[in-house]
Amino acid sequence: MIRETAPAKLNLYLHVGPVRSDGRHALASLFVFTEDGDAITVEAADDISLSISGPAAGALSGLPPRENLIWKATELLREACGVSQGAAIMLEKNLPVAAGIGGGSADAAATLRALIKLWNIEIADDVLAQLAFRLGADVPACLTGAPVLVAGAGEEVSPGPALPPLWACLVNPGVEIPTGPVFQAFDVANPAPAAPSAPALAATSHHALTQLMGQTRNDLQPAAIARAPEIADIINRLGQSRGVLGARMSGSGATCFALFAAAEDAQRARSEARDEGWWAMASPLILR
């Protein structure tokens, strides 16, 4: 049995540019990942199967297994590497779906990592990244689980800056935000966006991180707030938390996050969010 964590993905910033010739948006972003998230377990089997448990499993109950990104990742890897074995795959679903924190992408990436070990596959990093990009724009970055800079439409992934110890509080109002309509609303509001740019960073302190959050943005945040005004309320609440270094929405929403230097401040923000009836999680970030 092989187990892989599928951590939540946070966009510390997300700068969106014009639509490329392939129909994808040009992006510039800094991805970081929490230590906690979903979990993938795989075991040897003759055929492919997928079972789902966990507190957020109900949100996927109506989705046929073959339409799950985990199943698609499994079939894509088998075909690309000529594998005949099957696998019994178990997803422990802890993160909300359609939430802007890469849940499905992280699950697919964790599945690829686990199956490569289970099936003893030798595959070059660049080939694996190309396969991952065929599954979704966020999947290549989710393969690493470490801070990464993302450019292109998600296919250009490079090591991110050295970050100080950080905790994150994630808060979701329980509203699913489909990615497509948010990007469409961005296009309407920004018919000729500039090419996205990223600030130059090598290593950063807690103070520098606060400056980074102040100098950057999530370009999809206004469109998501128009669909779910609760997002603005959450960001405002998180931004007033004790010890907060910065707060904003992740991805296309609706999950928002705040960064903290101290675990107790992140945990306090989580408790306050749960008192409001929101889903919330506090977790350290993966820094390796």
- Residue ending a domain, choose from 159, 179, 204: 159
- Residue ending a domain, choose from 131, 159, 187: 159
Same domain, 46 and 69: yes
- 187-227, pLDDT tens digit by residue? 999 999 999 999 977 668 999 999 999 999 999 999 999 99
Closest residue by Cα to residue 144 from 155, 154, 157, 135: 157
The pTM of the full predicted model, rounded to 2 decimals, is 0.94
Here the CATH number for the domain that contains residue 259 is 3.30.70.890
User: What domain range is 203 assigned to?
Assistant: 167-284
Residue 61: predicted pLDDT:
87
Q: Among the options 36, 38, 107, 138, which is catalytic?
A: 138
Same domain, 120 and 9: yes
* Overall number of domains in the chain: 2
Here the CATH number for the domain that contains residue 58 is 3.30.230.10
Residue 202: predicted pLDDT:
66
Average pLDDT, the chain: 95
Could you report how far apart the first and last alpha carbons of the chain are, in Å? Answer: 25
| Alpha helices in 13-153, H assignment, sequence order | 69-81, 103-118, 125-135, 139-142
SS3 261: coil
User: Which H or E run includes 236?
Assistant: helix 230-239
Peptide bond into 189 cis (omega under 30): no
Q: What percent of the chain has pLDDT over 90?
A: 91
Same domain, 186 and 208: yes
- 57-101, pLDDT tens digit by residue? 999 988 899 999 999 999 999 999 999 999 999 999 999 998 999
Q: Among the options 9, 93, 107, 265, which is catalytic?
A: 9
- 24-41, pLDDT tens digit by residue? 999 999 999 999 999 999
Same domain, 152 and 31: yes
**C-alpha–C-alpha distance, residues 75 and 260, integer Å:** 40
Same domain, 219 and 242: yes
138 part of the active site: yes
Contact 71, 113 (CB under 8 A): no
Residue 203: predicted pLDDT:
65
Please enumerate in sequence order all residues whose Cβ is within 8 A of that of 195, keeping only pairs 6 or more positions apart, or say none.
17, 18, 26
- Residue ending a domain, choose from 138, 159, 180: 159
